[in-house]
């Protein structure tokens, strides 16, 4: 999360981004078609893949907490969940694309999520619309620069959480 704190500071006052880390090629073993079962929160969904329900964590973004049992609801957490639900209603066809690691430490499938049939890159839309901050956890960084740029645009426009939440709230997201 320290990287997210640094990124929030970067977004708040700098005009130059650091050079992105090495780009990776998405893993073909995680790629595939799925159907949305439900949105868990702003950065996690449940998707049906080959007849099995899987928790899927959207790679490269972080949203304020809204359902974590040991954490209070954070500024813009419920709004982030509602926005993801508006982008991905139950039953939406999805294309999931993996990166270097297929799962996180909690066992969730890690994926870049695309809405079918229009191909909307959901991870980027959440950042661009101001509902998510970028979160780079190497080696899963294939779209790092794209997601940072989307969040920078939202931040510069004071869109979403960047306009609604105080600096302390944004810091809580970064540390959370």
Cβ–Cβ < 8 Å for 140, 59: yes
Task: Decide if 108 is catalytic.
Answer: yes
| Confidence bin at 168 (pLDDT 50/70/90) | confident
Q: What is the mean pLDDT of the chain?
A: 83
Which segment of 21-30, 73-82, 99-108, 133-142 scores lowest on mean pLDDT?
A: 21-30
pLDDT for 137 beyond 50? yes
Q: Which of 38-42, 76-80, 90-94 has the lowest mean pLDDT?
A: 76-80
Q: Is residue 57 annotated as part of the catalytic site, yes or no? A: yes
Instruction: Return the bridge partners of 61, or none.
Output: 134
Predicted confidence band at 132 (pLDDT cuts at 50, 70, 90)?
very high
pTM of the model as a whole:
0.80
Question: What letter would DSSP give residue 111?
Answer: E
Catalytic residue (one of 54, 65, 74, 124): 65
| pLDDT at site 171 | 64
Higher pLDDT, 174 or 78: 78
Please choose, from the candidates 43, 55, 64, 24, the residue with its C-alpha nearest in 3D space to the C-alpha of residue 144.
24
- Share above pLDDT 70 across residues of the chain, in percent, rounded to a whole number: 78
pLDDT tens digits along 28-68: 346 889 999 999 999 999 999 999 999 999 999 999 887 77
CB atoms within 10 A of CB 119: 8
65 flagged as catalytic:
yes
Marked catalytic residue, from 54, 57, 144, 152? 57
Q: Which two tokens stand for residue 53?
A: 């329900």
What pLDDT shows up at residue 66?
A: 76
Domains of the chain in start order, with CATH, are: 2-9+26-170 (2.40.50.90)
Share of the chain above pLDDT 90, in %: 66
Arithmetic mean of pLDDT, 142-147: 96
The residue among 80, 142, 88 whose CA lies nearest residue 115 is 88
Which is the catalytic residue, given 54, 79, 95, 108?
108
Structure tokens at 78: 């419920």
Q: CA 27: distance to chain centroid?
A: 18
Asked if 160 and 129 touch (Cβ cutoff 8 Å), the reply is: yes
Give every CB contact of residue 76 below 8 A, 6+ residues apart in sequence.
63, 64, 131, 160, 161, 164, 165, 169
**DSSP 8-state assignment for residue 127:** H
């Amino acid at each position: 999360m320290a990287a997210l704190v640094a990124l929030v500071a970067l977004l708040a006052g700098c005009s130059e981004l650091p050079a992105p880390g090495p780009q990776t090629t998405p893993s073909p073993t995680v790629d595939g078609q799925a159907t949305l079962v439900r949105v868990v929160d702003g950065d996690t969904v449940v998707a049906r893949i080959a007849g099995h329900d899987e928790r899927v964590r959207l790679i490269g973004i972080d949203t304020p907490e809204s359902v974590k049992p040991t954490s209070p609801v954070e500024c813009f957490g419920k709004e982030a969940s509602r926005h993801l639900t508006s982008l991905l209603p139950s039953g939406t066809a999805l294309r999931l694309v993996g990166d270097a690691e297929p799962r996180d430490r909690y066992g969730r499938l890690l994926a870049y999520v695309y809405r079918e049939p229009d191909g909307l890159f959901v991870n980027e839309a959440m950042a661009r619309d101001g509902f998510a901050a970028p979160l780079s956890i190497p080696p899963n960084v294939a779209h790092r620069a794209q997601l940072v740029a989307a969040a920078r645009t939202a931040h510069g426009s004071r869109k979403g959480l960047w306009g609604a939440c105080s600096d302390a709230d944004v810091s809580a997201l970064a540390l959370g």
